[in-house]
Chains A and B, each alone.
Chain A
Amino acid sequence: MGNVMSYSGLVTKVRAMQAKLLTEQDFVNIANMSSVPDIVEYLKNGTPYADALNRMDESLYHRRHIEKVLELSLYADYVRIFRFAGMNQKKFMKGFWKRYEINVINYCLRIVLNHRDIPFDLDYKKEYFDKYSQISIDKLVTSDSVETLVDNLKGTEYYEPLQKLRDSSGATLYDYSMALEQYYFRNAWYKQRKVLSKDEKELFTRDAGLKIDLLNLEWIYRAKKYFHMLPTDIYLMTIPIHYRIRPEEFKAMVEAPTVEQFLQLFANSYYSRFKAVTRKDSHPVEDIYRECLHRLYVQDRRRNPYSLATVNSYLALKEEEIQKLTTAMECIRYQLTPRETLEYLGGKSE
């Protein structure tokens, strides 16, 4: 009952926003289009992106710019929900924002470490980051090397993990990204969980636990299939948290000599129970990752309508939608057939 009281406003707000998410039919329509401007025109009709797209100049109808609009729309949604949240809920929600912050830092790291001479293109995010973030875009864009970039992060929580790497010389982009990733998940698992009440904590543990497990599995799979990495290196890049996989099981998977053996082990694990529609050129682990999380979010929301699960799933679904739109635009740009496009979009939408 207490939950209903404290979540009624928030959930109503989220429901209203949810109603505006794109439907399966929308994606079918989009898949049938032949150019990016067509998609833009389509999105201008009654979708949450309409406002921003209408304000855009037509000459900017390029995927790069549209993607920015999509990203900003996610931030806008986050902020809308954030404003409706209470003190404790806000504390929890800040955990999501860290994801976006890490994305920005990763983007900057890529630029400075690859010595690419393209300028930082972050100004469009400034409005949101100045208001809701601990990192300052103004400072970040002045970085011209990893050292200055890390210095510019001084005062934020990301300084410490990165600074350690900077001090031990020879770290690569991979090391930095990995450090951030590890920091994020550990923070979510050990810190973000703390602010929740008992029921919510259970929910969140399940969500985060499954996500971490599935990410680990996906990474192991990729490391084995594409990069032929040594077990030691795989241990280093995975997140040292296990939810539904026992450590011995995990160890066996990492040390499996071939991909086939890994898949066999995977088939015996907890996660094999999720069945996904598989495409011809995709692989089971990735599909299950997507499918499983999608189902998880929808299920959470249904079971616990008056909880943070609603927020959690909405933001996840929104991210998924943006991901799909981006994919759709890419497919259309490379002139794939509608059928192929739909296959790439895969998964399910409401």
Chain B
Amino acid sequence: MIVKMKFLQISGPEHDIDRMCRQYLSKHEIQLENAIAELKTTDNLQPFIEVNPYRDPLGKAEQFCELLKVKPEPDMSMDLDSIGEMLREINHDYVELQERKEMLKKREDELKEKAVALAPFRGLEIRPGDTAKYQFMKIRFGRIGLDYYRRLERYLYQDMHAIFLEGSRNENYVYGCYVVSNEEKTKTDSVFNSLHFERMTLPDEYAGTVQQVYEIIQKDVQRLTAETQELEDQSQELMKKNAAKILGARKKLQEASDYFDIRKKAVKSLEEDENDGYYILCGWMGEDDVEAFQRESKDDPNVMILVEEDKEKYFGEAPTKLNNPKIFKPFEMFTEMYGLPGANEMDPTIFVALTYTIIFGAMFGDLGQGAVLFVGGGLLYLFKKMRLAGIISVAGIFSMFFGLMFGSVFGFEDVIPALWLRPVDAMTNLPFVGQLNTVFVVAIAVGMGLNLLVMLFQVINAVKAHDLENLLFSNNGLAGIVFYGFLVLTVVLFMTGHKTPSNILLAIFLGIPVLLFLFKEPLGNLVEKNHKKMEVGPGMFLVQGFFELFETMLSYFSNTLSYVRIGAFAVSHAAIMEVVLMLSGAEQGSPNIIGVIVGNAIVMLLEGLVVGIQVLRLEYYEMFSRFYKGNGRKFEPFKNTTNR
């Protein structure tokens, strides 16, 4: 069912907008439309341009919430003013802690840098702090490319009056230092320069060897890390202390901010005096809600409601809100997946619910497995609110029903008697086709019936939409019903051994609809009194028409045969279960319990999935395509995020 929608304009004094929203819109669902766009014909209106005052505190509150590890029950007792005060206080402490942390971090980074510089020289027994004090020699730390180092070793080192001490090396560089006397300094420096020796300065404010200095620095780093952690704990503690309040504050601020943001959709009047302005909000609301809203606000002098009748012409189509009985609710999912019904269409949800579950049951007829689906799906739906689970649960009921009909429990065909037939064994003799499984025949018959039914729906939709062309001449309209219905009638008469209608009748009832299909477009123009010219020549028109006609005939045929799958799956279910039982040794009399359980589980999953998809295909392709467009838009009411 589709809820009838009405277009509302709500207005009142400008300062009253927040109160109105809180009091009424929190109770009644409304899809707000942008008032400035809807009321473009009215002068003297302007949008609200106030900045949302709750956004910044809300941002802070959210930031604090993220620091919380445990989330206690929110404390909602504070009003907005004290919330602001509290957030300011917490923020003050928090920022101070952050600043101290930053400073520690900077110190730590500096020390780490020094440690990195020292690391390659740890193997050297030299005190970097003393090097500057040596009187007669110089020590220079640095690194030299491996390639150059080899040349140094090979050609130059023997003749050099200097000592090179290697600290460590990696694949590109040798780290170390050279020791040279003051006299030889210039010469040696120039040689090392040529060899691209890169000098590095080591921290000299520490006493001790490189290794010792390195360890001292590492310890300092550790101490700083611990201090940082402590500050981190402190800010955690700060948040934890106020956890309930912060969470409450966030919720309240969110709510206030959401209500405030309604202004984005509203307009206000331009008045000389600041205080005299009034606001206007507009949007769609369900019929029942409108009545309740009007009733409640009757005595409120500050709220004025204007219900616009027949506003669709100006404001586009109303959004679609589905409202089905509780048992059919899950099936709205299938309708939404295809597309919501437009304003003039009927809601197919109940139809889908009935056909889907029955067909699913017929294809998956098993009392035991059906019960599992019913219970499992039902529990999932109740606790997790998964709509698909709800659908499966309802489908499970019909599985159980057909399980009884086919006499099948967990694949065992001999435990209960079949109330109707056994899909694998029951055969029907038909003239012309010969022997066939009864379920196939029934499936096709059901398919024919459903095809006629959906054509009828199309007729109803066409009447609702005042679409004469599709109502009369379409292959899914009256012409289609006559054609397909007569064909079905003939086949049924023939198969049941009755006399078939005479050739003249056949020619009339099949020939005339075919002509109507062919000339659908010009005839449509005629009845709708459009005087459009044909865009193509008559030859082209006929060729095109012929192929379209061919396609139409084919679709009748294939759509009908498509329903065979209902029977086919009923048979295959029984056959697959037979295999499972055979594998678990049921034929010898004592079946392997685990084999039966695993086999059932696999079949249930596999077949449940395949059948679920196949039925959906039948729904969408065979049925919906004949009568349903699904071009409506979703009703998206304004909702307070915290109430979700």
Contacts and interface: CB of A to CB of B under 8 A. Distances in A.
Interface in A151-181: 164, 168
Interface of B is mostly: helix
B148 interface: yes
A230 B193 CA distance: 12
Contacts of B148: 236
A197 interface: no
Contacts of A164: 145, 172
24 contacts: A164-B145, A164-B172, A168-B198, A182-B147, A230-B194, A231-B155, A232-B156, A232-B190, A232-B194, A232-B195, A233-B194, A235-B151, A235-B155, A236-B148, A236-B151, A236-B194, A236-B195, A240-B147, A240-B150, A240-B151, A240-B154, A247-B154, A247-B155, A254-B155
B152 to A, nearest CB: 9
A236 B156 CA distance: 11
Nearest to B145: A164
* Residue in A182, A230, A233, A236 whose Cβ sees the most chain B Cβ within 10 Å: A236
A302 interface: no
A233 B194 CA distance: 6
A186 to B, nearest CB: 9
A65 interface: no
B416 interface: no
Contacts of A247: 154-155
A251 B196 contact: no
Nearest to A186: B147
A233 B192 CA distance: 11
B593 interface: no
B80 interface: no
A263 to B, nearest CB: 21
A247 B155 CA distance: 8
B78 interface: no
Interface residues of B, number: 15
Interface of A is mostly: helix
Nearest to B151: A235
Interface in B157-205: 172, 190-191, 194-196, 198
A233 B151 CA distance: 11
B155 A251 contact: yes
A4 to B, nearest CB: 42
A230 B154 CA distance: 17
Interface string B70-88: 0000000000000000000
Contacts of A236: 148, 151, 194-195
A182 B195 CA distance: 15
B156 A235 contact: yes
Contacts of A251: 155
A29 B194 CA distance: 49
Interface of B: 145, 147-148, 150-151, 154-156, 172, 190-191, 194-196, 198
Given A240-B150, A240-B154, A247-B154, A232 B191 contact: yes
Contacts of B198: 168
Contacts of B155: 231, 235, 247, 251, 254
B539 to A, nearest CB: 55
A289 B511 CA distance: 102
A254 B156 CA distance: 11
Nearest to B159: A255
B198 to A, nearest CB: 7
Contacts, number: 29
Interface string A211-252: 000000000000000000011110110001000000100010
A227 to B, nearest CB: 14
Given A236-B194, A247-B154, A247-B155, 14 more contacts: A164-B172, A168-B196, A168-B198, A182-B147, A230-B194, A231-B155, A231-B156, A232-B194, A235-B155, A236-B151, A240-B147, A240-B150, A240-B151, A240-B154
A235 B152 CA distance: 9
A29 B200 CA distance: 64
Lowest 10 A-B CB distances belong to which pairs?
A232-B194, A235-B155, A232-B191, A235-B151, A233-B194, A251-B155, A240-B151, A236-B194, A232-B156, A235-B156
Nearest to B194: A232
A247 B147 CA distance: 17
A215 to B, nearest CB: 17
Contacts of A235: 151, 155-156
Contacts of A254: 155
Interface string A99-121: 00000000000000000000000
* Residue in B148, B154, B194, B198 whose Cβ sees the most chain A Cβ within 10 Å: B194
Nearest to B160: A232
A240 B146 CA distance: 13
A262 to B, nearest CB: 16
Contacts of B190: 232
Contacts of A240: 147, 150-151, 154
A250 to B, nearest CB: 8
A254 B151 CA distance: 13
Nearest to B193: A232
A27 B194 CA distance: 45
Contacts of B196: 168
A239 B198 CA distance: 22
A256 to B, nearest CB: 14
Nearest to B155: A235
A275 B407 CA distance: 110
A247 B154 CA distance: 9
Contacts of B145: 164
Nearest to B198: A168
A58 B172 CA distance: 53
A247 B153 CA distance: 12
A235 B198 CA distance: 18
Contacts of A168: 196, 198
A261 to B, nearest CB: 17
Contacts of A232: 156, 190-191, 194-195
* Residue in B172, B191, B198 whose Cβ sees the most chain A Cβ within 10 Å: B191
Contacts of B156: 231-232, 235
B35 to A, nearest CB: 55
B199 to A, nearest CB: 12
Interface in A89-141: none
A251 B172 CA distance: 25
Contacts of B150: 240
A46 to B, nearest CB: 49
A343 B600 CA distance: 99
A145 B492 CA distance: 87
A251 B198 CA distance: 25
Nearest to A233: B194
A210 B285 CA distance: 95
A183 to B, nearest CB: 10
Nearest to A179: B147
A164 B171 CA distance: 12
Contacts of A233: 194
B124 to A, nearest CB: 23
Contacts of B154: 240, 247
A230 B147 CA distance: 19
A28 to B, nearest CB: 46
* Residue in B145, B190, B196 whose Cβ sees the most chain A Cβ within 10 Å: B196
A231 B198 CA distance: 20
A258 to B, nearest CB: 18
Contacts of A182: 147
A214 B198 CA distance: 32
A209 to B, nearest CB: 17
A230 B148 CA distance: 16
Contacts of A230: 194
A168 B198 CA distance: 9
B519 to A, nearest CB: 62
A88 to B, nearest CB: 29
A235 B190 CA distance: 14
A182 B150 CA distance: 14
Contacts of B151: 235-236, 240
